[in-house]
């Protein structure tokens, strides 16, 4: 019996062991399954992150492609627009710029020309003093261009037409532009204080010529410019085999140059030789010197010389001070003329100078940059509902040009005389780009056939530029 019991016990123990094996194994199996599941989840998380990255990259590529397509189609996306009197278009990195520019000046001149002495009738007339249209811009960052044509007076005349490279410490320019002489001569007529520039600028023919120049403007406290030009103006280029040569240079310094405070000093020189060898066999192109009465464009010229200058050398000094709304400006120029040997020792020295003062009643000031005065900024422009009064400026000038030197030695120099002009001006700037001007001027002639004449005039202008 005990043997049977022993056998039965062993059998029961064996069966219990068999049953215990899966029971003992079950936790190990479940642990393995959990580990495997966690590994799968980690793998899925990595795949999701990778998928998210790929989706983000795909979106960025799609946006870039869309931007490229829109820019290529000229859409505003990728195109910058600034308003400077007219839209200035450029791409985002400034590689290209383009702007349409222009101006309109509508003038009235009423002038008493002292007919009893001068023999010239009075003037009461309107004119389109300037009607210009052109373009300016930038090509490939460093290449600047400008082209402008004037249609006033039923004539077409090219004004600025040049290309300039600015990628060096100095700027290099070639084309048709102003010679480097005189503060007021170089300033745009949009920014000068009076309707016309000082008398010596016309008398000494300081204007645009075709040539090349080099300039330095990087430092706000000084500038330097120099150029070489053909002497004949653009309209006369085809009349002569030899253009003659003009050399010009100017240096300015502004020891004080900050907002509403400027001290400007400068000097310039010019030498020119007259054109010769005319194509039609006529005389060489000799220089003449003359200025309009009362510093108004429709007045006649009551001081003038015949054409007799074979060459001349001009030098000038300039200065200006701005203290808040008040400004003083002046220049002196002297031109020594060399006449042909047929006139013997007649080598006169002519001079011209002016001094003016101006004051903004409404608090504005004259901005200054690169050796010149630039566009005034109106604090309260006039427009519908603005309640602004614009900017009001009063000014006065004393202007002299003297062409009387050695007049007795120059054949036909009957009007070689001195002209002294007083000017009073009132300017109303409606906004940064439009203004109304009023000038009251009087010139006195001393010497020559018009000695004692008094030329009195009133000038008015409506001006807009863009």
pLDDT at 53: 80
Return the C-alpha torsion angle 138, 182, 189, 227, nearest 10: -30
Question: Model confidence over 200-225: pLDDT tens digits?
Answer: 999 999 999 999 999 999 889 999 99
Cβ burial, residue 299 (10 Å; 0-12/13-18/19+): buried
Task: Indicate the burial class of 368 (C-beta count within 10 angstroms; 0-12, 13-18, 19 or more).
Answer: buried
Q: How far apart are CA 407 and CA 308, in angstroms?
A: 12
Mean pLDDT of the chain: 88
Q: Would you place residue 279 in the very low, low, confident or very high pLDDT band (cuts 50, 70, 90)?
A: low
Q: Comparing 76-80, 331-335, 391-395, which segment has the lowest mean pLDDT?
A: 76-80
Please report the pLDDT score of residue 309 as a whole number.
93
Q: What percent of the chain has pLDDT over 70?
A: 85
pLDDT band for position 244 (cuts 50, 70, 90): confident
pLDDT in tens, 221-237: 999 999 999 987 655 55
Using DSSP bridges, classify how beta strands 79-83 and 87-91 pair: parallel, antiparallel or unpaired: antiparallel
pLDDT band at 66 (very low <50, low <70, confident <90, very high): low
Distance CA 233, CA 214 (A): 20
* pLDDT per residue as tens digits for the range 340-392: 877 767 899 999 999 999 999 999 999 999 999 999 999 999 998 888 999 99
**242 has pLDDT over 70:** no
- pLDDT in the model for residue 6: 43
Taking only the tens place, the pLDDT of each residue in 149-178 is 999 988 899 999 999 999 999 999 999 999
pLDDT tens by residue, 135-146: 999 999 999 999
Which residue's entry shows tokens 């460093």? Answer: 142
Is the Cβ–Cβ distance between 178 and 409 less than 8 Å? Answer: no
Residue 154: phi and psi, rounded to 5, are 60, 20
- Determine the pLDDT at residue 84: 84
List Cα–Cα distances, 457 to 123, 256, 422, in angstroms: 9, 37, 11
Q: Which residue has the higher pLDDT, 4 or 214?
A: 214
Residues 6 or more apart whose CB falls under 8 angstroms from that of 18 comprise none
Confidence of residue 25 (pLDDT cuts 50, 70, 90): very low
Beta bridge partners of 100: 135
Element holding 79 (H helix, E strand): strand 79-83
In angstroms, how far is the first alpha carbon of the chain from the final one? Answer: 128
* Close Cβ partners of 121 (under 8 Å, ≥ 6 residues apart): 113, 115
pLDDT of 85 reads 87
Q: What domains lie within the chain, and their CATH numbers? A: 103-131+187-465 (2.40.160.10)
Residues 6+ positions from 294 with CB-CB distance below 8 Å: 111, 421, 441, 442, 443, 455, 456, 457
Of 417, 411, 407, 419, the residue nearest 447 (C-alpha): 417
Contact assessment for residue 153 and residue 126, using Cβ atoms and an 8 Å cutoff: no
Does residue 111 have a pLDDT over 70? yes
Specify whether the CB–CB gap between 182 and 283 falls below 8 A.
no
Lowest-pLDDT range of 10-19, 142-151, 239-248, 382-391? 10-19
pTM: 0.81
Rounded distance between C-alpha atoms, residue 240 and residue 245, angstroms: 13
> Rounded CA gap, 131 and 177, in Å?
18
Whether the pLDDT of residue 73 is over 60: the answer is no
User: What is the pLDDT, as a whole number, of residue 340?
Assistant: 86
Residue with tokens 């300081």: 206
Q: Are strands 222-230 and 245-258 parallel, antiparallel or unpaired?
A: antiparallel
229-258 burial code (b ≥16 CB/10 A, e <16): bbbbbbeeeeebebbbbbbbbbbbbbeebe
């Amino acid at each position: 019996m005990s043997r049977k019991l022993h056998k039965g016990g062993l059998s029961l123990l064996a069966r219990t062991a068999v049953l215990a094996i899966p029971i003992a194994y079950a936790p190990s199996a479940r642990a393995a399954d959990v580990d495997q599941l966690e590994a799968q989840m980690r793998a899925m998380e990595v795949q999701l992150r990778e998928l998210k990255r790929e989706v983000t990259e795909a979106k960025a590529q799609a946006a870039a492609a869309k931007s490229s397509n829109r820019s290529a189609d000229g859409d505003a996306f990728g195109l910058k627009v600034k308003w400077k009197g007219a839209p200035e278009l450029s791409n985002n990195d400034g590689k290209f710029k383009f702007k349409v520019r222009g101006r309109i000046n509508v003038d009235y001149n009423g002038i008493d020309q002292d007919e009893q002495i001068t023999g010239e009738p009075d003037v009461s007339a309107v004119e389109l003093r300037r009607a210009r249209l052109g373009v300016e811009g930038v090509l490939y960052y460093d290449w600047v261009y400008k082209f402008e044509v004037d249609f006033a007076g039923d004539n077409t005349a090219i004004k600025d037409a040049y290309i300039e490279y600015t990628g060096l410490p100095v700027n290099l320019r070639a084309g048709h532009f102003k010679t480097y002489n005189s503060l007021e001569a170089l300033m745009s007529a949009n920014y000068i204080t009076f309707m016309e520039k000082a008398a010596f600028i016309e008398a000494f023919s300081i204007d645009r010529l075709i040539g090349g120049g080099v300039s330095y403007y990087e430092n706000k406290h000084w500038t330097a410019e120099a150029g070489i030009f053909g002497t004949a103006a653009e309209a006369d280029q085809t009349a002569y085999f030899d253009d003659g040569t003009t050399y010009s240079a100017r240096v300015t310094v502004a020891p004080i140059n900050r907002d509403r405070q400027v001290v400007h000093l400068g000097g310039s020189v010019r030498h020119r030789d007259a054109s010769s060898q005319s194509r039609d066999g006529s005389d060489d192109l000799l220089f003449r010197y003359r200025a309009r009465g009362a510093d108004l464009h429709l007045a006649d010229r009551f001081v003038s010389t015949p054409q007799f200058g074979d060459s001349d050398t001009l030098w000038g000094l300039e200065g200006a001070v701005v203290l808040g709304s008040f400004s003083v400006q002046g220049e002196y120029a002297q031109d020594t003329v060399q006449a042909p040997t047929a006139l013997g020792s007649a080598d006169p020295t002519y001079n011209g100078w002016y001094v003016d003062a101006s004051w903004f009643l409404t608090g504005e000031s004259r901005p200054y940059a690169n050796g010149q005065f630039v566009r005034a900024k109106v604090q309260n422009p006039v427009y519908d509902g603005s309640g602004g009064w614009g900017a009001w400026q009063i000014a006065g000038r004393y202007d002299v040009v003297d062409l009387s030197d050695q007049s007795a030695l120059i054949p036909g120099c009957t009007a070689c005389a001195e002209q002294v002009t007083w000017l009073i001006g009132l300017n109303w700037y409606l906004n940064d780009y439009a203004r109304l001007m009023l000038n009251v001027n009087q010139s006195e002639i001393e010497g020559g056939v018009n000695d004692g004449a008094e030329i009195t005039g009133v000038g008015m202008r409506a001006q807009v530029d863009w």
